[in-house]
Protein backbone atom coordinates (compact mmCIF):
# COMPACT_ATOMS: atom_id res chain seq x y z
CA UNK A 1 0.00 0.00 0.00
CA UNK A 2 1.42 3.35 -1.05
CA UNK A 3 0.65 6.94 -0.06
CA UNK A 4 -1.71 8.65 -2.47
CA UNK A 5 0.41 11.80 -2.33
CA UNK A 6 4.06 10.60 -2.41
CA UNK A 7 3.55 7.19 -4.00
CA UNK A 8 5.83 5.59 -1.41
CA UNK A 9 5.14 3.18 1.47
CA UNK A 10 4.05 5.40 4.41
CA UNK A 11 5.81 5.25 7.74
CA UNK A 12 2.69 6.46 9.64
CA UNK A 13 -0.23 5.44 7.45
CA UNK A 14 -3.67 7.05 7.86
CA UNK A 15 -6.89 6.54 5.90
CA UNK A 16 -9.68 8.94 4.98
CA UNK A 17 -13.19 8.03 6.22
CA UNK A 18 -14.77 9.72 3.22
CA UNK A 19 -12.66 8.47 0.33
CA UNK A 20 -10.86 5.50 1.85
CA UNK A 21 -7.56 6.64 0.43
CA UNK A 22 -4.26 5.94 2.23
CA UNK A 23 -1.89 8.81 3.08
CA UNK A 24 1.32 9.55 4.93
CA UNK A 25 0.14 11.26 8.14
CA UNK A 26 2.53 14.22 8.03
CA UNK A 27 1.75 14.93 4.37
CA UNK A 28 -2.03 14.89 4.70
CA UNK A 29 -1.89 16.97 7.88
CA UNK A 30 0.06 19.68 6.04
CA UNK A 31 -2.25 19.56 3.02
CA UNK A 32 -5.40 19.85 5.21
CA UNK A 33 -3.84 22.76 7.13
CA UNK A 34 -3.09 24.56 3.84
CA UNK A 35 -6.17 23.70 1.70
CA UNK A 36 -8.81 21.94 3.92
CA UNK A 37 -9.80 19.42 1.27
CA UNK A 38 -8.86 16.02 -0.09
CA UNK A 39 -5.87 16.21 -2.43
CA UNK A 40 -7.37 13.54 -4.70
CA UNK A 41 -11.19 13.99 -4.73
CA UNK A 42 -11.22 17.68 -3.77
CA UNK A 43 -13.95 17.08 -1.14
CA UNK A 44 -13.79 19.01 2.16
CA UNK A 45 -11.65 17.16 4.65
CA UNK A 46 -10.65 17.68 8.31
CA UNK A 47 -8.37 15.85 10.69
CA UNK A 48 -11.43 14.30 12.31
CA UNK A 49 -12.02 12.43 9.06
CA UNK A 50 -8.56 10.84 9.24
CA UNK A 51 -8.15 7.44 10.92
CA UNK A 52 -4.71 6.00 11.77
CA UNK A 53 -3.87 2.52 10.51
CA UNK A 54 -1.89 0.19 12.70
CA UNK A 55 1.00 -1.68 10.98
CA UNK A 56 3.76 -3.94 12.14
CA UNK A 57 7.27 -2.55 12.66
CA UNK A 58 9.37 -4.09 9.94
CA UNK A 59 12.83 -3.27 8.59
CA UNK A 60 12.68 -1.18 5.47
CA UNK A 61 14.07 -3.22 2.61
CA UNK A 62 17.16 -2.13 0.75
CA UNK A 63 16.88 -0.75 -2.76
CA UNK A 64 17.62 -3.12 -5.56
CA UNK A 65 20.82 -1.29 -6.55
CA UNK A 66 22.29 -1.77 -3.08
CA UNK A 67 21.37 -5.42 -2.86
CA UNK A 68 24.23 -6.69 -5.02
CA UNK A 69 27.91 -6.03 -5.69
CA UNK A 70 27.35 -4.86 -9.31
CA UNK A 71 24.63 -2.51 -8.09
CA UNK A 72 26.92 -1.04 -5.44
CA UNK A 73 29.72 -0.61 -8.00
CA UNK A 74 27.25 1.26 -10.18
CA UNK A 75 26.35 3.53 -7.25
CA UNK A 76 30.02 4.21 -6.57
CA UNK A 77 30.61 4.95 -10.27
CA UNK A 78 27.73 7.42 -10.32
CA UNK A 79 28.98 9.14 -7.19
CA UNK A 80 32.52 9.33 -8.66
CA UNK A 81 31.20 10.85 -11.90
CA UNK A 82 29.20 13.41 -9.93
CA UNK A 83 32.33 14.27 -7.91
CA UNK A 84 34.43 14.73 -11.07
CA UNK A 85 31.78 16.96 -12.66
CA UNK A 86 31.62 19.03 -9.49
CA UNK A 87 35.43 19.32 -9.44
CA UNK A 88 35.48 20.38 -13.11
CA UNK A 89 32.88 23.07 -12.40
CA UNK A 90 34.96 24.34 -9.47
CA UNK A 91 38.09 24.50 -11.66
CA UNK A 92 36.19 26.49 -14.28
CA UNK A 93 35.00 28.91 -11.63
CA UNK A 94 38.58 29.24 -10.31
CA UNK A 95 39.91 29.97 -13.83
CA UNK A 96 37.22 32.60 -14.35
CA UNK A 97 38.04 34.20 -11.01
CA UNK A 98 41.76 34.27 -11.91
CA UNK A 99 41.00 35.95 -15.24
CA UNK A 100 38.84 38.56 -13.55
CA UNK A 101 41.56 39.19 -10.96
CA UNK A 102 44.24 39.50 -13.68
CA UNK A 103 42.07 41.96 -15.61
CA UNK A 104 41.45 44.00 -12.47
CA UNK A 105 45.19 44.08 -11.68
CA UNK A 106 46.00 45.11 -15.27
CA UNK A 107 43.45 47.93 -15.10
CA UNK A 108 44.96 49.03 -11.77
CA UNK A 109 48.47 48.99 -13.24
CA UNK A 110 47.34 50.96 -16.31
CA UNK A 111 45.62 53.49 -14.07
CA UNK A 112 48.81 53.87 -12.02
CA UNK A 113 50.84 54.46 -15.20
CA UNK A 114 48.37 57.05 -16.45
CA UNK A 115 48.46 58.80 -13.08
CA UNK A 116 52.28 58.77 -13.10
CA UNK A 117 52.36 60.19 -16.64
CA UNK A 118 49.88 62.89 -15.75
CA UNK A 119 51.90 63.82 -12.67
CA UNK A 120 55.04 64.00 -14.80
CA UNK A 121 53.34 66.21 -17.40
CA UNK A 122 51.96 68.37 -14.59
CA UNK A 123 55.46 68.80 -13.13
CA UNK A 124 56.82 69.61 -16.59
CA UNK A 125 54.10 72.21 -17.09
CA UNK A 126 54.90 73.73 -13.71
CA UNK A 127 58.61 73.86 -14.53
CA UNK A 128 57.89 75.48 -17.91
CA UNK A 129 55.62 78.00 -16.23
CA UNK A 130 58.28 78.79 -13.66
CA UNK A 131 60.86 79.11 -16.45
CA UNK A 132 58.55 81.42 -18.42
CA UNK A 133 58.06 83.57 -15.34
CA UNK A 134 61.83 83.79 -14.85
CA UNK A 135 62.28 84.73 -18.51
CA UNK A 136 59.60 87.44 -18.48
CA UNK A 137 61.03 90.87 -19.41
CA UNK A 138 62.11 92.93 -16.43
CA UNK A 139 60.83 96.50 -15.92
CA UNK A 140 63.11 99.22 -17.23
CA UNK A 141 64.00 100.33 -13.72
CA UNK A 142 65.07 96.79 -12.81
CA UNK A 143 67.25 96.53 -15.90
CA UNK A 144 68.98 99.82 -15.05
CA UNK A 145 69.48 98.74 -11.44
CA UNK A 146 70.91 95.34 -12.35
CA UNK A 147 72.51 95.42 -15.79
CA UNK A 148 74.47 92.22 -15.27
CA UNK A 149 71.43 90.10 -14.41
CA UNK A 150 70.93 87.03 -16.62
CA UNK A 151 67.30 86.80 -17.61
CA UNK A 152 67.17 84.28 -20.44
CA UNK A 153 70.69 82.97 -20.70
CA UNK A 154 71.87 86.09 -22.51
CA UNK A 155 72.93 89.43 -21.14
CA UNK A 156 70.06 91.51 -19.83
CA UNK A 157 71.62 94.59 -21.36
CA UNK A 158 71.98 92.99 -24.79
CA UNK A 159 69.96 95.89 -26.26
CA UNK A 160 73.09 98.00 -25.93
CA UNK A 161 74.99 95.53 -28.17
CA UNK A 162 72.59 95.81 -31.09
CA UNK A 163 74.03 97.11 -34.31
CA UNK A 164 72.43 98.23 -37.58
CA UNK A 165 69.41 96.20 -38.60
CA UNK A 166 68.69 95.27 -34.95
CA UNK A 167 71.32 92.50 -35.01
CA UNK A 168 73.74 91.86 -32.18
CA UNK A 169 77.30 92.95 -32.80
CA UNK A 170 79.55 89.88 -32.50
CA UNK A 171 83.05 90.46 -31.07
CA UNK A 172 84.63 88.20 -33.71
CA UNK A 173 87.16 85.37 -33.48
CA UNK A 174 90.28 86.74 -31.79
CA UNK A 175 93.86 85.88 -32.67
CA UNK A 176 94.21 83.91 -29.44
CA UNK A 177 91.25 81.72 -30.39
CA UNK A 178 92.67 81.16 -33.89
CA UNK A 179 95.98 80.19 -32.29
CA UNK A 180 94.15 77.75 -30.03
CA UNK A 181 92.35 76.19 -32.99
CA UNK A 182 95.60 75.94 -34.97
CA UNK A 183 97.43 74.33 -32.06
CA UNK A 184 94.64 71.79 -31.62
CA UNK A 185 94.73 71.02 -35.34
CA UNK A 186 98.49 70.40 -35.28
CA UNK A 187 98.28 68.13 -32.23
CA UNK A 188 95.41 66.05 -33.61
CA UNK A 189 97.03 65.74 -37.05
CA UNK A 190 100.23 64.49 -35.45
CA UNK A 191 98.33 61.96 -33.30
CA UNK A 192 96.38 60.71 -36.28
CA UNK A 193 99.54 59.67 -38.10
CA UNK A 194 100.43 57.39 -35.16
CA UNK A 195 96.91 56.20 -34.43
CA UNK A 196 96.11 52.53 -34.84
CA UNK A 197 92.80 50.74 -34.78
CA UNK A 198 92.11 49.90 -31.12
CA UNK A 199 92.18 46.18 -30.28
CA UNK A 200 88.85 46.56 -28.43
CA UNK A 201 87.04 47.55 -31.64
CA UNK A 202 84.17 45.20 -32.51
CA UNK A 203 85.28 42.88 -35.35
CA UNK A 204 83.35 42.44 -38.58
CA UNK A 205 81.96 39.04 -37.65
CA UNK A 206 80.54 40.57 -34.47
CA UNK A 207 78.70 43.27 -36.43
CA UNK A 208 77.29 40.59 -38.72
CA UNK A 209 75.53 39.06 -35.70
CA UNK A 210 74.08 42.33 -34.36
CA UNK A 211 70.44 42.15 -33.34
CA UNK A 212 68.08 44.32 -31.30
CA UNK A 213 69.05 44.16 -27.63
CA UNK A 214 66.52 46.59 -26.16
CA UNK A 215 63.93 49.24 -26.92
CA UNK A 216 63.28 52.20 -24.64
CA UNK A 217 60.22 54.53 -24.87
CA UNK A 218 61.92 57.83 -24.00
CA UNK A 219 59.59 60.40 -25.51
CA UNK A 220 55.91 61.28 -25.25
CA UNK A 221 53.26 59.22 -27.00
CA UNK A 222 51.20 62.18 -28.22
CA UNK A 223 54.15 63.51 -30.29
CA UNK A 224 56.30 60.48 -31.16
CA UNK A 225 59.50 60.69 -33.15
CA UNK A 226 63.25 60.91 -32.39
CA UNK A 227 65.06 63.38 -34.63
CA UNK A 228 68.62 63.33 -33.31
CA UNK A 229 70.96 61.14 -31.27
CA UNK A 230 74.41 61.49 -29.71
CA UNK A 231 76.43 59.25 -27.38
CA UNK A 232 78.86 60.22 -24.63
CA UNK A 233 81.45 57.53 -25.36
CA UNK A 234 83.28 57.84 -22.02
CA UNK A 235 80.16 57.45 -19.86
CA UNK A 236 77.99 55.39 -22.24
CA UNK A 237 75.14 57.90 -21.99
CA UNK A 238 72.78 58.42 -24.94
CA UNK A 239 71.09 61.76 -25.70
CA UNK A 240 68.01 61.90 -27.93
CA UNK A 241 66.09 64.86 -29.28
CA UNK A 242 62.39 64.43 -29.98
CA UNK A 243 59.45 65.96 -31.78
CA UNK A 244 57.86 66.35 -28.32
CA UNK A 245 60.29 69.31 -27.78
CA UNK A 246 62.30 67.40 -25.15
CA UNK A 247 65.85 66.07 -25.06
CA UNK A 248 66.35 62.92 -22.99
CA UNK A 249 69.58 61.65 -21.41
CA UNK A 250 69.60 57.86 -21.06
CA UNK A 251 72.09 55.64 -19.22
CA UNK A 252 72.43 52.61 -21.48
CA UNK A 253 74.20 50.50 -18.84
CA UNK A 254 71.48 50.81 -16.20
CA UNK A 255 68.60 51.27 -18.63
CA UNK A 256 67.36 54.36 -16.78
CA UNK A 257 66.51 57.91 -17.87
CA UNK A 258 68.99 60.28 -16.20
CA UNK A 259 67.29 63.53 -17.10
CA UNK A 260 64.61 65.01 -19.34
CA UNK A 261 65.65 68.41 -20.70
CA UNK A 262 62.46 70.45 -21.09
CA UNK A 263 62.30 74.04 -22.22
CA UNK A 264 62.12 74.15 -26.01
CA UNK A 265 58.73 75.06 -27.45
CA UNK A 266 59.13 73.07 -30.70
CA UNK A 267 60.87 69.88 -31.81
CA UNK A 268 64.51 69.35 -30.88
CA UNK A 269 66.46 68.97 -34.13
CA UNK A 270 69.98 68.33 -32.83
CA UNK A 271 71.68 67.19 -29.59
CA UNK A 272 75.41 67.06 -28.87
CA UNK A 273 77.53 66.16 -25.85
CA UNK A 274 80.54 68.15 -24.69
CA UNK A 275 81.83 65.19 -22.71
CA UNK A 276 84.73 66.58 -20.63
CA UNK A 277 82.59 69.48 -19.37
CA UNK A 278 79.46 67.41 -18.59
CA UNK A 279 77.53 69.69 -20.94
CA UNK A 280 74.81 68.92 -23.45
CA UNK A 281 73.74 71.19 -26.32
CA UNK A 282 70.31 71.16 -27.96
CA UNK A 283 69.10 72.98 -31.05
CA UNK A 284 65.43 73.39 -31.86
CA UNK A 285 62.91 74.48 -34.45
CA UNK A 286 61.97 77.27 -32.01
CA UNK A 287 65.10 79.12 -33.34
CA UNK A 288 67.05 78.72 -30.08
CA UNK A 289 70.00 76.73 -28.81
CA UNK A 290 70.24 75.70 -25.15
CA UNK A 291 73.34 74.89 -23.13
CA UNK A 292 72.63 72.36 -20.38
CA UNK A 293 75.10 71.98 -17.52
CA UNK A 294 75.22 68.75 -15.51
CA UNK A 295 75.23 68.89 -11.72
CA UNK A 296 76.38 66.54 -8.97
CA UNK A 297 72.86 65.24 -8.34
CA UNK A 298 72.62 64.08 -11.97
CA UNK A 299 70.23 66.80 -13.14
CA UNK A 300 70.96 69.17 -16.01
CA UNK A 301 70.16 72.87 -15.71
CA UNK A 302 69.77 75.28 -18.60
CA UNK A 303 72.74 77.64 -18.36
CA UNK A 304 72.20 79.68 -21.54
CA UNK A 305 69.49 80.21 -24.15
CA UNK A 306 70.97 81.45 -27.41
CA UNK A 307 68.68 83.42 -29.69
CA UNK A 308 70.94 84.61 -32.50
CA UNK A 309 69.15 82.74 -35.30
CA UNK A 310 65.93 83.90 -36.96
CA UNK A 311 64.80 80.51 -38.30
CA UNK A 312 64.93 76.86 -37.27
CA UNK A 313 68.26 75.65 -35.90
CA UNK A 314 68.96 72.43 -37.79
CA UNK A 315 72.38 71.32 -36.53
CA UNK A 316 74.83 71.71 -33.65
CA UNK A 317 78.44 70.51 -33.85
CA UNK A 318 81.22 70.73 -31.24
CA UNK A 319 84.83 71.66 -31.98
CA UNK A 320 87.62 69.24 -31.03
CA UNK A 321 88.85 71.63 -28.29
CA UNK A 322 85.46 71.21 -26.55
CA UNK A 323 85.59 74.98 -25.95
CA UNK A 324 83.62 76.11 -29.01
CA UNK A 325 80.68 74.96 -31.08
CA UNK A 326 78.82 75.88 -34.27
CA UNK A 327 75.10 76.07 -34.97
CA UNK A 328 73.55 76.00 -38.47
CA UNK A 329 70.11 77.36 -39.30
CA UNK A 330 67.59 77.70 -42.08
CA UNK A 331 68.16 81.49 -41.87
CA UNK A 332 71.21 80.91 -44.20
CA UNK A 333 73.75 81.61 -41.41
CA UNK A 334 75.97 79.61 -39.08
CA UNK A 335 77.22 80.86 -35.72
CA UNK A 336 80.49 80.20 -33.92
CA UNK A 337 80.05 80.22 -30.11
CA UNK A 338 82.25 80.26 -27.06
CA UNK A 339 80.97 77.43 -24.84
CA UNK A 340 81.83 78.84 -21.42
CA UNK A 341 80.13 82.21 -21.91
CA UNK A 342 77.51 81.25 -24.49
CA UNK A 343 78.62 84.26 -26.53
CA UNK A 344 78.25 84.27 -30.32
CA UNK A 345 81.73 85.21 -31.53
CA UNK A 346 80.74 85.43 -35.20
CA UNK A 347 77.68 84.82 -37.36
CA UNK A 348 78.66 83.88 -40.91
CA UNK A 349 76.37 84.77 -43.79
CA UNK A 350 77.32 84.37 -47.44
CA UNK A 351 75.52 86.97 -49.60
CA UNK A 352 75.83 84.69 -52.62
CA UNK A 353 74.00 81.87 -50.83
CA UNK A 354 70.23 81.91 -50.37
CA UNK A 355 69.99 78.33 -49.14
CA UNK A 356 69.35 77.48 -45.50
CA UNK A 357 71.59 75.03 -43.67
CA UNK A 358 70.19 71.61 -42.78
CA UNK A 359 73.28 69.88 -41.33
CA UNK A 360 76.78 70.67 -40.09
CA UNK A 361 79.86 68.88 -38.78
CA UNK A 362 83.44 69.75 -37.84
CA UNK A 363 86.36 67.95 -39.46
CA UNK A 364 88.19 65.84 -36.80
CA UNK A 365 91.12 68.29 -36.86
CA UNK A 366 88.82 71.26 -36.26
CA UNK A 367 89.86 73.76 -38.95
CA UNK A 368 87.30 72.64 -41.55
CA UNK A 369 83.52 72.90 -41.21
CA UNK A 370 81.10 71.09 -43.49
CA UNK A 371 77.51 72.28 -43.93
CA UNK A 372 74.62 70.80 -45.90
CA UNK A 373 71.99 73.03 -47.47
CA UNK A 374 68.38 72.87 -48.55
CA UNK A 375 69.59 73.22 -52.14
CA UNK A 376 71.46 69.86 -52.21
CA UNK A 377 74.89 71.53 -51.97
CA UNK A 378 77.59 70.65 -49.44
CA UNK A 379 79.64 73.72 -48.50
CA UNK A 380 83.13 73.44 -46.98
CA UNK A 381 84.41 76.31 -44.79
CA UNK A 382 87.80 77.38 -43.45
CA UNK A 383 87.03 78.01 -39.76
CA UNK A 384 89.89 80.50 -39.25
CA UNK A 385 88.90 82.79 -42.13
CA UNK A 386 85.18 81.82 -42.16
CA UNK A 387 85.52 81.57 -45.93
CA UNK A 388 83.78 79.11 -48.24
CA UNK A 389 86.66 77.09 -49.74
CA UNK A 390 84.81 74.33 -51.61
CA UNK A 391 81.36 73.20 -52.70
CA UNK A 392 80.17 69.66 -53.46
CA UNK A 393 77.22 69.32 -55.82
CA UNK A 394 75.41 66.24 -57.06
CA UNK A 395 72.77 65.44 -54.46
CA UNK A 396 69.02 65.66 -54.95
CA UNK A 397 67.06 67.31 -52.16
CA UNK A 398 68.24 68.77 -48.86
CA UNK A 399 71.45 67.38 -47.36
CA UNK A 400 70.13 65.74 -44.20
CA UNK A 401 73.39 64.62 -42.55
CA UNK A 402 77.16 65.00 -42.71
CA UNK A 403 79.90 62.86 -41.12
CA UNK A 404 83.69 63.12 -41.42
CA UNK A 405 85.79 59.97 -41.11
CA UNK A 406 88.33 59.89 -38.29
CA UNK A 407 91.14 59.43 -40.84
CA UNK A 408 90.41 62.96 -42.06
CA UNK A 409 90.22 61.93 -45.72
CA UNK A 410 86.58 60.96 -46.28
CA UNK A 411 83.30 62.84 -45.97
CA UNK A 412 79.92 61.08 -46.09
CA UNK A 413 76.79 63.08 -46.91
CA UNK A 414 73.16 61.95 -46.95
CA UNK A 415 70.25 63.40 -48.91
CA UNK A 416 66.99 62.37 -50.56
CA UNK A 417 68.83 60.44 -53.28
CA UNK A 418 71.10 58.42 -50.96
CA UNK A 419 74.66 58.72 -49.64
CA UNK A 420 77.73 60.13 -51.38
CA UNK A 421 81.36 59.68 -50.32
CA UNK A 422 83.83 62.50 -51.01
CA UNK A 423 87.62 62.44 -51.12
CA UNK A 424 88.74 65.61 -49.29
CA UNK A 425 92.23 65.40 -50.82
CA UNK A 426 90.96 65.64 -54.40
CA UNK A 427 87.60 67.29 -53.60
CA UNK A 428 85.58 64.85 -55.64
CA UNK A 429 82.90 62.21 -55.22
CA UNK A 430 84.30 58.69 -55.51
CA UNK A 431 81.33 56.51 -54.52
CA UNK A 432 77.53 56.76 -54.18
CA UNK A 433 74.97 54.54 -52.47
CA UNK A 434 71.41 54.73 -53.82
CA UNK A 435 69.84 52.46 -51.24
CA UNK A 436 66.14 53.29 -51.15
CA UNK A 437 63.28 54.19 -53.46
CA UNK A 438 62.46 57.73 -54.56
CA UNK A 439 59.96 58.24 -51.74
CA UNK A 440 62.41 57.25 -48.97
CA UNK A 441 65.15 59.75 -48.10
CA UNK A 442 68.38 58.81 -46.37
CA UNK A 443 68.17 60.51 -42.97
CA UNK A 444 71.50 59.90 -41.24
CA UNK A 445 75.12 58.80 -41.71
CA UNK A 446 77.76 58.20 -39.05
CA UNK A 447 81.37 57.00 -39.06
CA UNK A 448 82.42 55.16 -35.91
CA UNK A 449 85.17 56.74 -33.79
CA UNK A 450 87.90 54.58 -35.34
CA UNK A 451 86.81 55.33 -38.91
CA UNK A 452 86.40 51.61 -39.64
CA UNK A 453 82.63 51.45 -40.14
CA UNK A 454 79.91 53.63 -41.67
CA UNK A 455 76.25 53.43 -40.62
CA UNK A 456 73.41 54.67 -42.85
CA UNK A 457 69.79 55.14 -41.75
CA UNK A 458 66.73 55.34 -44.02
CA UNK A 459 63.92 52.81 -44.24
CA UNK A 460 66.39 50.48 -42.48
CA UNK A 461 69.90 50.73 -40.99
CA UNK A 462 72.93 49.46 -42.94
CA UNK A 463 76.50 49.11 -41.72
CA UNK A 464 79.41 49.25 -44.20
CA UNK A 465 83.05 48.36 -43.79
CA UNK A 466 85.10 51.42 -44.70
CA UNK A 467 87.30 50.78 -47.72
CA UNK A 468 89.27 53.28 -49.74
CA UNK A 469 88.83 55.34 -52.90
CA UNK A 470 89.45 52.26 -55.04
CA UNK A 471 88.59 49.39 -52.66
CA UNK A 472 84.97 48.38 -52.19
CA UNK A 473 82.86 49.46 -49.22
CA UNK A 474 81.08 46.21 -48.35
CA UNK A 475 77.71 46.09 -46.58
CA UNK A 476 78.27 44.05 -43.39
CA UNK A 477 74.80 44.12 -41.85
CA UNK A 478 71.28 45.35 -42.64
CA UNK A 479 69.10 45.99 -39.58
CA UNK A 480 65.35 46.33 -40.21
CA UNK A 481 63.34 49.27 -38.94
CA UNK A 482 61.33 47.65 -36.13
CA UNK A 483 59.33 50.78 -35.33
CA UNK A 484 56.74 50.06 -38.02
CA UNK A 485 57.05 53.63 -39.32
CA UNK A 486 59.42 52.81 -42.18
CA UNK A 487 61.79 55.63 -41.16
CA UNK A 488 64.97 55.31 -39.13
CA UNK A 489 65.77 58.98 -38.53
CA UNK A 490 69.17 58.86 -36.81
CA UNK A 491 71.96 56.41 -36.02
CA UNK A 492 75.08 56.55 -33.83
CA UNK A 493 77.88 54.11 -33.00
CA UNK A 494 78.58 53.31 -29.35
CA UNK A 495 82.07 52.96 -27.83
CA UNK A 496 84.32 50.75 -30.01
CA UNK A 497 81.28 50.06 -32.24
CA UNK A 498 80.03 47.63 -29.56
CA UNK A 499 76.47 48.69 -30.30
CA UNK A 500 74.34 51.00 -32.45
CA UNK A 501 71.80 53.51 -31.14
CA UNK A 502 68.90 54.06 -33.56
CA UNK A 503 66.05 56.55 -33.41
CA UNK A 504 62.87 56.27 -35.49
CA UNK A 505 59.56 58.03 -35.98
CA UNK A 506 58.09 56.27 -32.96
CA UNK A 507 59.19 57.31 -29.45
CA UNK A 508 61.62 54.42 -28.86
CA UNK A 509 65.40 54.37 -28.73
CA UNK A 510 66.58 50.99 -30.02
CA UNK A 511 69.94 49.44 -29.16
CA UNK A 512 71.43 46.93 -31.60
CA UNK A 513 74.41 44.80 -30.65
CA UNK A 514 75.57 41.33 -29.71
CA UNK A 515 73.50 39.33 -27.21
CA UNK A 516 75.18 39.10 -23.81
CA UNK A 517 76.34 35.52 -24.29
CA UNK A 518 77.99 36.29 -27.63
CA UNK A 519 79.43 39.56 -26.31
CA UNK A 520 81.09 37.83 -23.37
CA UNK A 521 82.56 35.23 -25.76
CA UNK A 522 83.97 37.97 -28.00
CA UNK A 523 85.56 39.75 -25.05
Check residue 148 and give its pLDDT: 37
**Inside any domain, residue 452:** yes
Check residue 50 and give its pLDDT: 92
Spatial distance between the Cα atoms of 351 and 333, rounded to a whole number of angstroms: 10
CATH code of residue 24: 3.30.40.10
Range of the domain at 423: 175-516
What pLDDT band is residue 465 in, cutting at 50, 70 and 90? very high
| Share of residues in the chain with pLDDT > 90 (%) | 55
Mean pLDDT of 237-249: 93
Read off the pLDDT of residues 41-66 as tens digits, 9 standing for 90 and up: 989 999 999 999 987 766 566 666 66
Predicted confidence (pLDDT) at residue 290 exceeds the cutoff of 90: yes
Distances (CA, A) of 338 to 32, 168, 213, 454: 111, 15, 38, 30
Check residue 52 and give its pLDDT: 92
Q: For 157-171, 309-323, 447-461, 496-510, which range has the lowest pLDDT when averaged over its residues?
A: 157-171
β-pair partners for 503: 490, 509
Q: How many CA atoms lie within 13 A of 317 on its CB side?
A: 29
Check residue 62 and give its pLDDT: 61
What pLDDT band is residue 74 in, cutting at 50, 70 and 90? confident
CATH code of residue 456: 2.130.10.10
Check residue 143 and give its pLDDT: 33
Q: Average per-residue pLDDT in the chain?
A: 86
Predicted confidence (pLDDT) at residue 31 exceeds the cutoff of 80: yes
Most confidently predicted of 65-74, 164-173, 390-399? 390-399
Check residue 146 and give its pLDDT: 38
Instruction: At 44, give phi and psi (nearest 5°).
Output: -60, 140
Residue, of 133 and 387, whose pLDDT is higher: 387
**Inside any domain, residue 83:** no
Read off the pLDDT of residues 153-204 as tens digits, 9 standing for 90 and up: 444 334 445 554 445 678 888 899 999 999 998 888 888 767 788 889 999 9
Predicted confidence (pLDDT) at residue 67 exceeds the cutoff of 80: no
**Inside any domain, residue 89:** no
**Inside any domain, residue 28:** yes
**Inside any domain, residue 169:** no
Mean pLDDT of 125-154: 53
**Inside any domain, residue 29:** yes
**Count of domains forming the chain:** 2
Q: What is the DSSP string of 256-306?
A: EEEEEE---SS-EEEEEEEGGGTEEEEEETTS-EEEEEE-TTS-EEEEEEE
CB 375 within 8 A of CB 366: no
| Share of residues in the chain with pLDDT > 70 (%) | 90
Predicted confidence (pLDDT) at residue 105 exceeds the cutoff of 80: yes
- pTM of the predicted model as reported, rounded to 2 decimal places: 0.67
Check residue 196 and give its pLDDT: 82
**Inside any domain, residue 70:** no
Predicted confidence (pLDDT) at residue 142 exceeds the cutoff of 70: no
197 and 49 within one domain: no
Q: For 169-183, 315-329, 367-381, which range has the lowest pLDDT when averaged over its residues?
A: 169-183
**Inside any domain, residue 80:** no
Amino acid sequence: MNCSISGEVPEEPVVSKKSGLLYEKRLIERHIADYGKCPVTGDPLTMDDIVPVQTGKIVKPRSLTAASIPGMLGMFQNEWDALMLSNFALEQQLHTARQELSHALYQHDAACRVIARLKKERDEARSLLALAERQAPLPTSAVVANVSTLSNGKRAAEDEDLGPGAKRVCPGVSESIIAELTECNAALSQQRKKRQIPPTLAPIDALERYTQLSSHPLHKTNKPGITSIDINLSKDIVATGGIDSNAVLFDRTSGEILSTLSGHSKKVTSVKFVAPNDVCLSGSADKTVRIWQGSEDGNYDCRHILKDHTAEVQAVTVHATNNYFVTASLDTTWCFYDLSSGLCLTQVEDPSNSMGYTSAAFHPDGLILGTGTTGATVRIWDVKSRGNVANFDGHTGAVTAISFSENGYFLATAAHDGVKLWDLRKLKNFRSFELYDQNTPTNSVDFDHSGSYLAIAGSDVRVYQVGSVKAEWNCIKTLPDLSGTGRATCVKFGPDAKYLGVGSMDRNLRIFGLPEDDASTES
